[in-house]
Chains A and B, each alone.
Chain A
Amino acid sequence: MSLPKRIVRETERLISDPVPGITAVPHSDNMRYFNVTIEGPESSPYENGKFKLELFLPDEYPMVAPKVRFLTKIYHPNIDRLGRICLDVLKNNWSPALQIRTILLSVQALLSSPNPDDPLANEVAEEWKNDNVHAIATAREWTHQYAN
């Protein structure tokens, strides 16, 4: 089945004009499925980490959001054990004017600014609020341990 022009063009642009710190490469057998890496943002506990994610474009894309999930273990109040991400633009605030590129930038921004008040991983969020120093240390440790 032929790929919609939009997906072809987005893929081309991701390769020809990549976003710093982010890579997204489609599978050769399924062009809707991308292997993604995101570098942990500077001055965040995820700094120096390289996180693997998977991204899938459903048939209804761009009318529905891409599905994105962390494959690398990460200690973050908005990302759960299965790597699912709580991010408004991946859910109700998705707009067809957004793109793979912008979504991945949003995910990267989420690493810089965790939001423990709207948690997905409740224990992590509790820790984040009650013992911030320890939580950040754990996040750093996990980054060192898993995200290389």
Chain B
Amino acid sequence: MGNTPTKETRSNASSFGGPGSLSRDILIGGTEPTVGSAGITRKKREKEKERLRRKEEHVCNLIVRYGENVDGGFLAPYSNYKYTLSYKTQVVRDLIIERRLAPFYTPLESYDEDWTDGQLLKQLKKLSLHIPCTSIELQDDEEDPDEHKIYQSVNSLRRKDNKLFKKKLKIRALQLQNEADERYVRDKKTQGSGIRTFADIPSDDLLLKLYRGAQECPICFLYYPKNMNLTRCCVQPICTECFVQMKRLEPHIPHDESGGHHDDERETEVDANPGSEGDSDDLISEPVKCPFCAMPEFGVIYSAPDFKTGIGGTPPSEYRDSSKPIEEEKDEDSSSTKIASSLHDSTKPSRILSVYKGDAQHSRSFSSASQRQSENGTPVKKRRGSLPPTAPGVISIDDIQPDWEQRLLNARSKSARRSAAATALHASSLIVEDSRHSNISNQERSSSVSNRAGDYRGGFSKARSRTLSRQEQVEIEQKMVEEALRLSLLDEEERKLKQKVQQKEQERETEHNKIQTDLEVQRRASSSSPR
């Protein structure tokens, strides 16, 4: 699908963080599930391979590696939530690297403003990269519907293969995550004992700068550095992990406020009664609403802190608080230092509850600091109350979960197919009904039933004319033609939408590649410049 070059460029970026970072592991090299049927064309197989590769990449991208860090946070979630994540990992990684979305910070379970620096550091150093995972979570939950059947369909074989693949992937991911965690702990320990320093182990200054004045995410109740994403509409904080959990509801028919439509989704789908045309087109998918104020088209905006570490910045181990005189960043001049130190002052105990007000102030001063950075290509945002969904810098759920179009499409064609099947059933039952009404013997009736399939084709054949009146035949024929037309129209629509989705995907890829090259250039520039 034209995105083979991404892998190489990406591995550049991931090995970016310096000596401590890991080379990107390939999860299950060459393991392809054996597809159990012979008649699969080459194209199909390639498609399948591509799908598996994407899955692999997705899982790989969800592993937290301490070498991949941005401003003290990471590119993959800590995983407070145990269930499967469906967001586009590559998009989110890019957004984090571009500082348009807060990185995945490791959360603190509790935070007390009265903690001394030493106490806070002690808590912070205990943190791991990822929530400890156990093998219990590897147990699978769902059972295949065909499990207990004597004859297993091709589909169920495929599902089985899929399941096996998923399980392998899970186990491998778990191993990789544990390895990454161990490495982190080991390197931290080594650095702590003063034997040597690792570029990607954050300095105490950085940890304190980030977590002093930590804020509770109102959804997961965990504490994060105060540079959180803010909702575009009501300026509420939300951590990136909660943000990536949000997604559109499954496609459903519009909710009728006044009518007594209960258990609506399921019922109409099952009913799919043949008379009601356009059932499938009724299915809609609505953009996610803000969890706090229910404003449609939920989006967040992020103001990065006034320093840059990790990818696209200085090594986190070298970070010194800006109130101290050591400065590595080129774009930091005296005025931004002043802002930073005034920021530091404002993070005193008094602001535990006045978070929002305080934060608005923060982001304002952040943005004035980042105005200077705008030459770097960092988008400059100013927060003043609510912002429209189209405002620059707003990241919506659809940006990170763009597959809703595909899902809506699938649901629609599924429902269309169902109603087509129901129509066919209805039509054939009409024929049977007719044959019953006509004055024919039992034998003939049964033969007409067994010939039902023939009726479709032989609508005009004279042999049938005794069971069906000419007019009825024409009617049924007409119905079939209409149905066929409708289905082909639907297919066409599906094809178009698929194309659109693909195009978007490609655009995203190119954008991604661009970011990677930019970063590469930046890196070269910064490594060649004298320190």
Contact = CB atoms under 8 A, between A and B. Distances in A.
Interface of A: 1, 4-6, 9-10, 59-60, 62-63, 86, 92-93, 95-97, 117-120, 122, 125
Given A119-B260, A120-B262, A9 B221 contact: yes
Given A63-B81, A97-B291, A6 B221 contact: yes
A130 B81 CA distance: 48
A147 B221 CA distance: 35
Interface in B258-309: 258, 260, 262, 289-292, 294
B242 interface: yes
B221 A95 contact: no
A96 B260 contact: no
Given A95-B291, A97-B291, A97-B292, A63 B246 contact: yes
Given A1-B137, A4-B81, A97-B291, A122 B260 contact: yes
Contacts of A1: 82, 134, 136-137
A63 B86 CA distance: 13
Contacts of B451: none
B255 A6 contact: no
Nearest to A61: B81
Range for the number of chain B residues in contact with chain A: 20 to 34
Nearest to A117: B258
A60 B83 contact: yes
B219 A62 contact: yes
B109 interface: yes
Nearest to A119: B260
Contacts of A97: 218-219, 291-292
Given A59-B83, A118-B260, 18 more contacts: A1-B136, A4-B80, A4-B81, A4-B82, A5-B221, A5-B222, A6-B221, A62-B219, A62-B220, A63-B81, A63-B245, A63-B246, A96-B245, A97-B292, A118-B257, A120-B262, A122-B260, A125-B260
B221 A59 contact: no
A10 B220 CA distance: 10
25 contacts: A1-B82, A1-B137, A4-B82, A5-B80, A5-B222, A6-B219, A10-B221, A59-B82, A59-B83, A60-B81, A62-B220, A63-B245, A92-B249, A92-B255, A93-B294, A95-B289, A95-B290, A95-B291, A95-B294, A96-B245, A97-B218, A97-B291, A117-B258, A118-B260, A125-B260
A6 B246 contact: no
A120 B262 CA distance: 7
A86 B262 contact: yes
A96 B291 contact: yes
B478 to A, nearest CB: 38
A95 B80 contact: no
Nearest to B141: A59
A95 B289 CA distance: 8
Nearest to A63: B245
Nearest to A125: B260
A1 B132 CA distance: 11
A105 B82 CA distance: 28
A118 B262 CA distance: 9
B260 A4 contact: no
B258 A6 contact: no
Contacts of A5: 80, 109, 220-222
Nearest to A97: B291
